Amino acid sequence: MLLSPLAATAQDTSLDSVAKAMGATGIKSIQYTGSGVNFQVGQNYSPDLPWPRFIVKSYTRAVNYDTASLRDELVRLQGEDPPRGGGGQPVRGEQRQIFVVSGDFTWAMTGDAVNPTPVALIDRQLQLWTTPHGVVKAAMANKATVQGRAIAFTVPGKFRVKATADGQNLIERIDAVASHAVLGDVAVEIRYSDYKDFGGVKFPTKIKQTVGGHPSLDLSVSDVQPNATVETAVPDPIRQTPAPYARVTSQMIAEGVWFLSGGSHNSARIEMKDHLILVESPLNEDRAAAVLAEVKNLVANKPIKYMVATHHHFDHSGGLRAVAAEGVTVVTHDVNKAFLEKALAAPATVSPDRLAKSGKKATVEGLRDKRVLTDGIRTVELVHIAGNTHHAGLIMAYLPKEKVLIEADAYTPLPPNAPPPPAANPFSVNLADNLKRLDLAVDQILPLHGRIVPVAELHKAIGHAHQ
Ligand SMILES: [Zn+2]
């Protein structure tokens, strides 16, 4: 007491006493259900706003600690009214979502479709190992240090975690820093409160999370089943494609204009007289590396001078750091400029990436209504899609001579022969309005999700028989 007066109010804890208080030692799996709201990280209407909100009617998380698996199943409803921002808005009625991680495989299920989602791997592993009992197990496995009531450990290349126990040795908060494709390092905070006893196992009935300083989850837990049966077999298509982002398919649309697809997000490459323009570097560094390799494979002797970023949404800007590491100038709307400058200058200490290693300082140039890139022969117009509620600073690339439009998220064509949407997508209606207002003659749309379509498909999708 004389040596350490603080000890009187903040008695040191130990991993063993926390594990015992939580009932963690006998837990091999757990399932908990609840409801509340969640927020789609990285999908805000503009970079300075909170993440867009969704109502979570039901939420079931099943975790198997022995197999390092976690399965989230949500039924969600539209939360923003009117719809603003991304994350699959507008949600019509009830939408079921399933997200799974098992070891180093991660995927999402929508209806019968199974899609690999490696970009989400670190976040889902962090979610798994920061569950109330998972964090105790991870602390033990990763030789955590204990200081006062704080338990700290690192999973190298993925995240650093500090878990704090309350006076009853129950985990009350998590402060983590994770590796992030867009942000370098990202702060993730979780608050666990209102613990109750579920068959000898303590579990919080209130869970609140923030990611990057904005709320991401606010959940009330109604039911907890310790040691529930949790099986998450990795589907064959996921197991057979361990590196889905490596696959890049290139297709020439017009002389020197290429569509780079092969996964959930596309890019485009435009050849100018003495340089190249890359439109969009989505997902993460792995995808960026594959796209950059394909760009160099198509044309070896011209440097990429400009990287067009359509908007700041994280799924579309996750490869920007890798492109900036090559000294490429990023061009975007003014709305995104300060955010991207900050993201491209941010440290990546958890997992130093290409940009961190390059030591390069990225250049970001903004535009308001329009900017024209030309080499005297080819012209590329970068134009603001004004008034689009998907994003305040969304830009498209228009090639007037080729009559080609490259756009993201304003219009995503459905697969061929899919039934038409029950109602017109407001973002697509706005795109068509902009094309008309600006009098842009378009033959083909190169969407940054989905397949190339004639512009007539856009008009059909929004219920206009004639353009
Ligand atoms: Zn978006």
Q: How far is the CA of 88 from the centre of ligand 1 (A)?
A: 9
Which residues make Cβ contacts (< 8 Å) with residue 47, sequence separation at least 6?
312, 335, 336, 338, 339
Q: How far is the CA of 64 from the centre of ligand 1 (A)?
A: 33
**With contact defined as beta carbons under 8 Å apart, do 199 and 226 qualify?**
yes
pLDDT tens track for 104-150: 999 999 878 899 999 999 999 999 999 999 999 999 999 999 999 99
Does the pLDDT value for residue 200 go beyond 80?
Answer: yes
Distance CA 147, CA 12 (A): 7
pLDDT tens track for 285-302: 999 999 999 999 998 789
Q: How far is the CA of 348 from the centre of ligand 1 (A)?
A: 24
What mean pLDDT comes out for the span 175-183? 98
Of the candidate ranges 188-192, 451-455, 460-464, the one whose mean pLDDT is the lowest: 460-464
Does the pLDDT value for residue 375 go beyond 50?
Answer: yes
Q: HEC states along 113-124?
A: EEEECHHHHHHH
Q: What pLDDT is stored for residue 274 in this prediction?
A: 96
Which residues make Cβ contacts (< 8 Å) with residue 417, sequence separation at least 6?
none
Q: What pLDDT is stored for residue 53 in this prediction?
A: 98
Q: How far is the CA of 312 from the centre of ligand 1 (A)?
A: 8
With pLDDT > 90 as the criterion, what percentage of the chain qualifies?
A: 91
Distance CA 201, CA 227 (A): 10
What mean pLDDT comes out for the span 40-56? 98
Q: How far is the CA of 37 from the centre of ligand 1 (A)?
A: 20
Which tops the pLDDT comparison, 199 or 72? 72
Which residues make Cβ contacts (< 8 Å) with residue 271, sequence separation at least 6?
256, 257, 258, 299, 302, 378
Q: How many CA atoms lie within 13 A of 46 on its CB side?
A: 12
DSSP single-letter state for residue 244: G
User: What is the band of 10 on the pLDDT scale with cuts at 50, 70, 90?
Assistant: low
Residue type, 247: R
Looking at every residue in the chain, the average pLDDT score rounds to: 95
Q: What pLDDT is stored for residue 9 in this prediction?
A: 46
**With contact defined as beta carbons under 8 Å apart, do 319 and 182 qualify?**
no
Q: How far is the CA of 41 from the centre of ligand 1 (A)?
A: 11
User: What is the band of 3 on the pLDDT scale with cuts at 50, 70, 90?
Assistant: low
Q: How far is the CA of 373 from the centre of ligand 1 (A)?
A: 23
Q: What pLDDT is stored for residue 300 in this prediction?
A: 76
Q: How far is the CA of 270 from the centre of ligand 1 (A)?
A: 22
pLDDT tens track for 72-106: 999 999 999 999 999 999 999 999 999 999 999 99
Residue 147 sits at φ, ψ, to 5 deg, of -135, 115
Q: How far is the CA of 53 from the centre of ligand 1 (A)?
A: 15
Q: How far is the CA of 440 from the centre of ligand 1 (A)?
A: 22
Q: How far is the CA of 395 from the centre of ligand 1 (A)?
A: 11
Asked if the peptide bond before residue 454 counts as cis, ω within 30 degrees of 0, the response is: no
Q: How many residues does the chain have?
A: 467
- Full DSSP string of 105-147: EEEEEETTEEEE-GGGHHHHHHHHHTSTTHHHHHHHHTT-EEE
Q: How far is the CA of 411 from the centre of ligand 1 (A)?
A: 10
Q: What six digits make up the tokens of 441?
A: 């003659």
Of the candidate ranges 2-6, 104-108, 112-116, 382-386, the one whose mean pLDDT is the lowest: 2-6
**With contact defined as beta carbons under 8 Å apart, do 60 and 224 qualify?**
no
What is the pTM for the complete model shown? 0.95
Does the pLDDT value for residue 37 go beyond 70?
Answer: yes
Q: How far is the CA of 450 from the centre of ligand 1 (A)?
A: 14
Q: What pLDDT is stored for residue 12 in this prediction?
A: 83
Does the pLDDT value for residue 209 go beyond 50?
Answer: yes
What mean pLDDT comes out for the span 332-348? 98
Q: How far is the CA of 391 from the centre of ligand 1 (A)?
A: 7
Q: How far is the CA of 44 from the centre of ligand 1 (A)?
A: 8
Asked if the peptide bond before residue 347 counts as cis, ω within 30 degrees of 0, the response is: no
Q: How far is the CA of 74 from the centre of ligand 1 (A)?
A: 21
Q: How far is the CA of 375 from the centre of ligand 1 (A)?
A: 30
What mean pLDDT comes out for the span 387-398? 98
Q: How far is the CA of 56 from the centre of ligand 1 (A)?
A: 21
What mean pLDDT comes out for the span 164-170? 97
